[in-house]
Amino acid sequence: MKKLFFYTLFILLSVASLQAQDKHFTQFYASPLTLNPALTGAFEGSYRIGTIYRDQWRQVLENPIKTFSLSADLRFKAPGKNNRRDAIGLGLMFFNDKVSVVDFSTTQIAISFAFHKSLGANDRQFLSLGAQLGLTQRNVNYESLQFHDEFDGVNGYTGTTLEDLPANNFAFTDYNVGLNYTAQFGRSGRIFAGAAVHHFLQPTISFYGTGAEGDKLYMKINGQLSASIPLTRDNKVSLLPRLLVASQGPHMEINAGTNIRTALGRYGGSALHFGTWVRPVRNTDGIGLDAVVALLGFEVNSVLVGVSYDLNISALQAKQRQSAFEISVAYLGNYDNEEIVCPKF
């Protein structure tokens, strides 16, 4: 039997505080074009193709929340004789998020541009500026919903609703900008610091298209800080601390943790990643620990595969089994493992 979610639909259409699910991945560095436009073309090679899939709350929902992104970006030398290692990045990204409970989906296609400026004569520092333009469509399938006036009192929801419903889809343009700084320290250490502003024009996201203040998509600001710290002289074992702070309207989340990278084999062409994370959040009801995360990743030459599992703490305390599973795959073309301009995972 179909479930009755009239009030859920009403919230989706009318209440400003519910912004649907914005782009959210635990493996945020595995989806660089959804994290920060300045990371477009920030990788060790000439092109990169990546995908990431998130499956959320499968244990408690008949149809889990599913999020998917596919991206491709290019890196090539900036024109001019005096630019040394300056580079330009161009990227294309596809994103889809589907809340199957009410058959509500968000789909976006976006193009990105970034300029990577080499700082200093030894090219040990880069400053990157990026911009992104996206076209987003939101859709709800009314046929998957049941309304109170469809109930015939005997056999179920067999009638026809008289609710005055708007068009079941609409589209809007979205703009994001970002900045990223990369520096090398010592023989092979790296530090990465970046910030991005998403939805800075705060587009209207109401199905009714009223343009009222409460129908605007909150601007999201996030900051990223990470490093690659060698623990051995040959750099076969590295510590990879990661921090992401994101604020959007009354909501804020922090992803903090550390991965360890261990190179495998005589020449280190392959590597194993593993680590743990915590995610505190702030919502309208206060501050709390949302989830703990375990991550496992594999590098094999130009291919990078990551798997992570989120365990929701509040659900665990309530003896539920809410969790999220992610898998990411990236391929780097013309890979050069001597240069690191973007963190992994």
pLDDT in tens, 82-114: 667 899 999 999 999 988 767 889 999 999 999
Percentage of the chain beyond pLDDT 70 is 83
Assessment of whether the complete model's pTM goes beyond 0.95 = no
d(CA 93, CA 49): 10
Pairing of strands 286-300, 104-119: unpaired
Please choose, from the candidates 216, 132, 218, the residue with its C-alpha nearest in 3D space to the C-alpha of residue 175: 132
Question: If we measure between CA atoms, which residue out of 231, 254, 228, 232 comes closest to residue 241?
Answer: 228
User: Which has the higher per-residue pLDDT, 80 or 95?
Assistant: 95
> 210 CB contacts (<8 Å, ≥6 apart)?
204
State the pLDDT at residue 318.
43
Average pLDDT over residues 129-157: 82
Q: What is the pLDDT of residue 273?
A: 96
Rounded CA-CA distance 308/310 in Å is 7
Measured distance CA(18)–CA(285) in Å, rounded: 14
Lowest-pLDDT range of 16-30, 44-58, 199-213, 289-303:
16-30
136: CB partners within 8 A, 6+ apart: 106, 107, 108, 171, 172, 173, 174, 203
Q: At 335, is the pLDDT very low, low, confident or very high (cuts 50, 70, 90)? A: low
Q: What is the topology classification, in CATH, of domain 6-333?
A: Porin (2.40.160)
